[in-house]
């Protein structure tokens, strides 16, 4: 299965499916072609998995338009660099080598922000788990650049 690709400031691409901010919820459901998971906790979000169960996305909507993408499983790449299916000890130096600085998150409770890529990255340790594997990568149309 193809990995998803981050498109900073726009969203992600998964194979032929473009999952971009501002897309209507109904159209996105038809375009993605993944199996929706069970009911979600909130009315403004959908969760999707590919048929193989490896890739897992949580999508949030504001006024019926996509505003947040949370990658919880599978792979997410940007210019060949794996962002999700990796460890913090491997990812942090790779981001810094590419000149993508990191800061303590300024818009979520956990993790680090990579402003250049418009993402928040949290490890298992960050969210109360065990280890430096990546728990999530979140990108948002409302990413705080300041």
Whether 145 is in a domain gets the answer no
| Percentage of residues of the chain with pLDDT beyond 70 | 86
The pLDDT-based confidence of 1 (bands split at 50, 70, 90) is: very low
**Pairing of β 76-78 and β 4-7:** parallel
| 88 lies in some domain | yes
Whole-angstrom CA distances from 142 to 14, 89, 139 are: 21, 28, 9
pLDDT(20) > 70: yes
DSSP state of 80: T
CA 133/CA 104 separation, integer angstroms? 17
- pTM greater than 0.75 (yes/no): yes
Identify whether residues 65 and 30 lie together within a single domain: yes
**Burial bucket for residue 35 (CB in 10 Å: 0-12, 13-18, 19+):** exposed
pLDDT 10s digits, 70-87: 999 999 999 999 999 999
Res. 44: pLDDT tops 90: no
Least confident among 11-15, 27-31, 91-95, 102-106? 27-31
pLDDT at 43: 78
Do 117 and 95 fall within a single domain?
A: yes
CATH of the domain at 19: 3.30.1450
Are residues 29 and 102 in contact, defined by beta-carbon separation less than 8 angstroms? no
Domain span at residue 99? 83-140
**Domain count within the chain:** 2
């Amino acid at each position: 299965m193809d990995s998803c690709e981050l498109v900073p400031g726009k969203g992600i691409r998964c194979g032929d499916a473009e999952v971009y901010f501002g897309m209507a919820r109904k159209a996105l459901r038809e375009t993605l072609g993944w199996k929706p998971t069970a009911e979600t906790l909130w009315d403004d979000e959908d969760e999707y998995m590919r048929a193989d169960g490896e890739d897992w996305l949580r999508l949030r909507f504001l006024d019926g338009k996509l505003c947040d993408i949370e990658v919880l499983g599978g792979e997410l790449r940007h210019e060949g660099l794996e962002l999700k299916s990796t460890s913090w000890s491997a990812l942090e130096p790779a981001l810094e080598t590419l000149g993508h600085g990191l800061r303590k998150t300024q818009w979520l409770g956990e993790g680090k922000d990579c402003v250049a890529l418009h993402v928040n990255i949290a490890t298992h340790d960050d969210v109360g788990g065990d280890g430096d594997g990546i728990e999530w990568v979140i990108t948002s149309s409302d990413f705080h650049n300041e």
